């Protein structure tokens, strides 16, 4: 869909149908929208301009992921109402009438991603950003599951949740165009090395440097909630580290003991639960949601030469990610052999 | 290694993506991202084309030997491994052409998958052989991945 058409449809929705403003201007696509389409725009009302962001499904045939926009909206809306969570304020949802695809609108956050921040300040120390990240994640993980949308799945036990994630790795591996021994090896390793249990909490599900915005006042806002679920809070800590190994910086890397200590202090969880090894374990386990995205890419490419170039790219991302998983396993096995620190 | 999507499929997509950018009326951030991705993928595809055929053949032999070893030890899903080995050998007996090699590699990879399940918690030579097979696969995949970096957002 061209920018002009999107702008016209937004105008019809927000100005004509909802009477929320006088006109829509300055529509531009935001980078970083691998999974969904993201656009920033201004909504003019009498004497004021509101900076907003549109988040929408990609049109059919161009989508890399198949996450539920309404489920994401419900979480964003509920956290937005909560008031203490670092998230853009939720404004409006549409199921496809306005743009032809499900979408929602949130307030624009004046900030830069961690990636952009450290690209502009490459020599700056990472400790303060690491502290802010820990504070943000701890706040998200402190939301009582009872405050979240009732439609969100509630795992009945920690053990069952972990087993279901490992089972998901195994099940997804069977859906690929070819058998994947890396994933089979990973699943066996995860089964053999479970850490101590933690309380089940809201998990963002895709914490990475491009989904974390640093605001001018130094605070942090967390965006892109399509993979949010109730699970083990270490999924977010671990997944951040895994992704940041490929897309630096890893602001936790130089501060990992400080990160663990700070998180333990805020959350009240013990050292046997929050430590660098258990976080690394969850870096591997939590990767299943992204594996879910990557595993279908080869078929998408083979089915149509009109497939998005991103789909072809995902096959190489998967090959690169597999090597990363093995590196983490090697490091954890070496650590266990050296220190005698094993999982429960 | 990942042998799918096929090289021809990837090249078709990359070719069209490059052409789309060449004909684009405007050049946006997403255009720049797609060109970045396309350039990375062209180098990746070139490495696949150069290395994959010979590496696949070497790995298939290793996985087949491992499957036999697991069977001799009587570990894991022996019926499944027997069937997977039989499928591989039947295919190799009738093999002809590069697409058949990709199929043989997939069949051999299934043998390796079953061997991993069987030998992961075992001790001794069969476990070591499984770990060695994985190490060979890792080294070969690293050669294909080369200097590919995840990025372009």
This complex has an ipTM of 0.88
Three-class SS string for chain A?
CCHHHHHHHHHHHHHHHCCCCCEEEEEEECCCCCCCEEEEEEEEECCEEEEEEEEECCCCCCCCCCCCHHHHHHHHHHHHHHCCCCCCCEEEEECCCCCCCCEEEEECCCCEEHHHHHHHCCCCCCHHHHHHHHHHHHHHHCCCHHHCCCCCCCCCCHHHHHHHHHHHHHHHHCCCCCCCHHHHHHHHHHHHCCCCCCCCEEECCCCCCCCEEECCCCCEEECCCCCCEEECCHHHHHHHHHHHHHCCCCCCHHHHHHHHHHHHHHHCCCCCCCCHHHHHHHHHHCCHHHHHHHHCHHHHHHHCCCCCHHHHHHHHHHHHHHHHHHHHHHHHHHHHHHHCCCCC
Question: pLDDT confidence of B23, banded at 50, 70, 90?
Answer: low
- Predicted pLDDT of residue B25: 61
Tens digits of residue pLDDT in A20-48: 999 999 999 886 555 678 999 999 998 89
Interface with chain B: mutation pick from A112, A192, A244, A312, highest number of B CBs within 10 Å: A312
Please say whether the dihedral angle defined by the alpha carbons of residues A59, A60, A63 and A65, taken in this order, is positive or negative: positive
In this prediction, residue A172 has a pLDDT band, given cuts at 50, 70 and 90, of: very high
Taking the C-alpha atoms of residue A72 and residue A25, their distance in angstroms, rounded to an integer, is 26
CB contacts under 8 A, A 247-266 vs B, are 247
- Identify which has the larger pLDDT, A128 or A47: A128
Q: How confident is the prediction for chain B on average, in pLDDT?
A: 88
Whether the CB of A228 is below 8 Å from some CB of chain B: the reply is no
Q: Do A178 and B2 touch (CB under 8 A)?
A: yes
Mark yes or no for CB contact B134/A302 under 8 Å.
Answer: no
Between CA A22 and CA A310 the distance in angstroms is 37
Between A300 and A220, whose confidence is greater? A220
Q: How confident is the model at residue B36 (pLDDT cuts 50, 70, 90)?
A: confident
Query: What mean pLDDT is predicted for residues A278-297?
Result: 91
- Put simply, whether A320 touches B (Cβ < 8 Å) is yes
| Residue from A104, A235, A264, A219 nearest A164 by CA | A235
**pLDDT digit string (tens) for A227-279?**
899 999 999 999 999 889 878 899 999 899 999 999 999 999 999 999 999 99
| B-interface mutation test, from A27, A174, A184, most B Cβ less than 10 A away | A184
B22 pLDDT more than 80: no
Taking all residues of chain A, what is their mean pLDDT, rounded to a whole number?
91
Q: What is the pLDDT of residue B100?
A: 65
Name which of B4, B44, B117 is nearest A178 (Cβ-Cβ). B4
Binning pLDDT at 50, 70 and 90, where does residue A342 land?
A: very low
Q: What is the pLDDT of residue B101?
A: 86
A223, A90 in Cβ contact below 8 A?
A: no
What local confidence, expressed as pLDDT, does residue A242 receive? 85
Q: What is the mean pLDDT of residues A108-133?
A: 94
Mean pLDDT of B128-147: 95
Set of chain A residues whose Cβ sits within 8 Å of the Cβ of B33? 31
Please state the domain extents for chain A: 3-107, 112-339
How confident is the model over B58-102, as pLDDT tens digits? 999 999 999 999 999 999 999 999 999 999 999 988 876 555 688
Q: What is the pLDDT of residue B96?
A: 66
Query: Residue A166: is its pLDDT beyond 80?
Result: yes
Spatial separation of the C-alpha atoms in residues A186 and A325, rounded to whole Å: 8
> CB pairs below 8 Å between A and B: how many?
132
Angstroms from B152 CA to nearest CA on chain A: 8
Q: Inform me whether the C-beta atom of residue A331 falls under 8 Å from chain B C-beta atoms.
A: no
Rounded Cα gap, residues B122 and A18, in angstroms: 65
Q: What angle do CA A66, A70, A72 make, to 5 degrees?
A: 75
Contact A322, B141 (CB under 8 A): yes
CB spacing of A192 vs B121 below 8 angstroms = yes
Please compute the mean of the pLDDT values over residues A297-313 and round it to a whole number: 87
Distance from C-alpha of A39 to C-alpha of A27, rounded to nearest angstrom:
7
- A29 interfaces chain B, CB cutoff of 8 Å: yes
Domain extents in chain B: 7-145
Position B28 confidence tier, pLDDT thresholds 50, 70, 90:
low
* Distance between CA atoms of residues B153 and B147, nearest Å: 17
Identify the CA nearest to A24 among candidates A4, A39, A10: A10
In this prediction, residue A189 carries a pLDDT of 98
> CA–CA separation, A54 vs B31, rounded Å?
20
Q: Do A181 and B137 touch (CB under 8 A)?
A: yes
In 3D, which of B102, B101, B100, B70 has the Cα closest to residue B85? B70
Q: Does the structure show a pLDDT above 70 at B42?
A: yes
Asked if pLDDT for residue B32 goes beyond 60, the answer is yes
Residue A51 has pLDDT above 60, yes or no: yes
Interface of A with B in 62-101 (CB under 8 A): none
Q: Which of A106, A94, A95, A96 is nearest to A1 (CA)?
A: A96
Average pLDDT over residues A174-179: 96
How far apart are the C-alpha atoms of B21 and B51, rounded to whole Å?
Answer: 29
d(CA B12, CA A301): 9
- CA dihedral (B89, B91, B94, B98) in degrees, to 10, reads -120
This prediction has a pTM of 0.85
Say if A186 is an interface residue toward chain B (CB within 8 Å): no
> How many CB atoms neighbour CB B83 within 10 A?
14
pLDDT tier at A83 (50, 70, 90 boundaries)? confident
Residue B138 has pLDDT above 50, yes or no: yes
Q: Rounded distance, CA B149 to CA B147, Å?
A: 6
Spell out which residues of chain B touch residue A176, defining contact as CB-CB under 8 Å: 4
Of A176, A307, A312, the CB nearest to B41: A312
> Read out DSSP for chain B?
----S-HHHHHHHHHHHHHHHHH-SS--HHHHHHHHHHHHHHHHHHHHHHHHHHHHHHHHHHHHHHHHHHHHHT-S-HHHHHHHHHHHHHHHHT--SHHHHHHHHHHHHHHHHHHHHHHTT--SHHHHHHHHHHHHHHHHHHHHHTT------
Judge: B34–A309 Cβ closer than 8 Å, yes or no: yes
Residue A340 has pLDDT above 50, yes or no: no
Instruction: Please check the confidence at residue A344 and state whether its pLDDT lies above 70.
Output: no
Question: Helix A181-192 vs helix A276-285: angle between axes, to the nearest 10 degrees?
Answer: 140
CATH number at A112-339: 3.90.1200.10
Nearest chain A residue to B146 by CA distance is A320
Spatial separation of the C-alpha atoms in residues B41 and A298, rounded to whole Å: 13
The CATH superfamily holding the domain A3-107 is Phosphorylase Kinase; domain 1 (3.30.200.20)
Q: Which B-chain residues 3-32 have CB contacts (< 8 A) with chain A?
A: 3-6, 9-10, 12-14, 16-17, 28-30
- Of residues B109, B148, B151, nearest to A247 (C-beta): B151
- Greater pLDDT, B24 or A2: A2
CB A101 within 8 A of CB A93: no
| Beta carbons of B5 and A301 less than 8 Å apart | yes
The predicted structure's pLDDT at residue A343: 46
A88-102, A152-166, B9-23: least confidently modelled range: B9-23
Query: What CA–CA distance (Å, rounded) separates A277 from A148?
Result: 29
């Amino acid at each position: 869909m061209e920018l002009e058409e999107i702008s016209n449809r937004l105008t019809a929705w927000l100005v004509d149908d909802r009477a929320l403003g006088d006109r829509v201007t300055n529509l531009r696509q935001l980078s970083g929208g691998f999974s969904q389409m993201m656009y920033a725009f201004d909504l003019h009302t009498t004497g004021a301009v509101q900076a907003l962001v549109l988040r929408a499904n990609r049109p059919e045939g161009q989508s890399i992921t198949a996450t539920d926009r309404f489920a994401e909206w419900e979480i964003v809306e509920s956290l937005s109402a909560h008031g203490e969570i670092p998230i853009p304020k939720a404004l409006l949802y549409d199921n496809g009438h306005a743009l032809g695809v499900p979408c929602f609108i949130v307030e624009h956050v004046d900030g830069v991603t961690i990636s952009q921040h450290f690209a502009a300040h490459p020599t700056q120390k990472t400790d303060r950003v690491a502290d802010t990240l820990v504070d943000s994640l701890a706040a998200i993980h402190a939301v009582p599951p009872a405050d979240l949308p009732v439609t969100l799945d509630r795992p009945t036990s920690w053990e069952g949740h972990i087993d279901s994630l490992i089972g998901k790795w195994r099940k997804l591996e069977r859906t690929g165009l070819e058998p994947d021994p890396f994933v089979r090896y990973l699943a066996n390793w995860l089964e053999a090395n479970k850490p101590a249990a933690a309380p089940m909490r809201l998990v963002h599900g895709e914490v990475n440097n491009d989904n974390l915005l640093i605001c001018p006042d130094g605070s942090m806002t967390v965006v892109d909630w399509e993979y949010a679920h109730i699970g083990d809070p270490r999924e977010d800590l671990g997944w951040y580290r895994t992704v940041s190994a490929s897309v630096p910086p890893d602001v936790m890397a130089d501060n990992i003991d400080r990160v663990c200590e700070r998180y333990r202090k805020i959350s009240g969880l013990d050292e046997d639960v929050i430590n660098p090894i258990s976080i690394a374990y969850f870096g591997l386990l939590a990767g299943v949601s992204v594996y879910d995205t990557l595993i279908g890419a080869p078929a998408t490419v083979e089915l149509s030469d009109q497939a998005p170039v991103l789909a072809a790219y995902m096959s190489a991302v998967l090959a690169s990610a597999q090597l990363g998983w093995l590196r983490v396993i090697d490091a954890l096995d070496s650590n266990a052999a050296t220190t005698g620190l094993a999982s429960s | 290694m990942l042998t799918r999507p096929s090289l021809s499929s990837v090249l078709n997509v990359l070719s069209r993506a490059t052409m789309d950018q060449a004909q684009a009326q405007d050049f946006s951030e997403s255009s720049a991202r797609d060109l970045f991705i396309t350039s990375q993928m062209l180098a990746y595809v070139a490495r696949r084309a150069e290395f994959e055929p010979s590496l696949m053949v070497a790995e298939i032999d290793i996985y087949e030997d491992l499957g036999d070893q697991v069977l001799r030890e009587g570990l894991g899903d022996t019926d499944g491994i027997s069937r997977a080995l039989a499928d591989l050998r039947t295919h190799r007996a009738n093999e002809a052409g590069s697409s058949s090699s990709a199929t043989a590699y997939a069949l051999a990879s299934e043998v390796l998958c079953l061997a991993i399940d069987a030998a992961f918690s075992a001790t001794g030579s069969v476990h070591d052989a499984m770990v060695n097979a994985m190490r060979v696969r890792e080294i070969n995949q690293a050669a294909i991945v080369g200097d590919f970096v995840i990025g372009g957002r």
